[in-house]
């Protein structure tokens, strides 16, 4: 089963939801605004995607002071987690993790070409 992590009202999330629904891909949705991401799951995100987990183009990131931004770039997951648990909007969206059949899936952001390659192969 796949889990898609993000925020429901995000435009990029809507593109991912639309794609998955149009292609009949079953998934669970983890809403950062309604659920608290665990430290372990955040550590998994960083291990898989590295610094890509931080959305540096978003307004949440841009509002941070230089020290906070520096902490988010250290890849010290404990220090990073302390920031993101109170500011989940700073996480890149969507993050899709899980399995389709026997294949592991790990995607970050929405790239239609990557989604097509991942979800439409027979």
The catalytic site residues sit at 10
Closest to 56 in 3D by CA, of 31, 10, 14, 89: 89
Beta bridge partners of 76: none
Per DSSP, the chain holds a count of helices (H) and strands (E) of: 6, 4
Give the span between the Cα atoms of 94 and 53, in whole angstroms. Answer: 10
The H or E element spanning position 107 is strand 103-108
The H or E element spanning position 99 is strand 95-100
């Amino acid at each position: 089963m796949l889990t898609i992590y993000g925020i429901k009202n995000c435009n990029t999330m809507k593109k991912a939801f639309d794609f998955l629904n149009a292609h009949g891909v079953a998934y669970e949705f983890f809403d950062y605004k309604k659920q608290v991401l665990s430290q372990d799951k955040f550590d998994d995100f960083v291990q898989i995607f590295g610094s890509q987990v931080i959305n540096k183009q978003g307004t949440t990131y841009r509002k941070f002071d230089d020290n906070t931004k520096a902490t988010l770039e250290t890849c010290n997951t404990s220090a990073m987690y302390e920031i993101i648990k109170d500011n989940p909007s700073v996480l890149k969206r969507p993050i899709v993790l899980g399995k389709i059949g026997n294949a592991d899936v790990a995607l970050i952001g929405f790239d239609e070409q990557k989604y097509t390659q991942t979800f439409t192969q027979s």
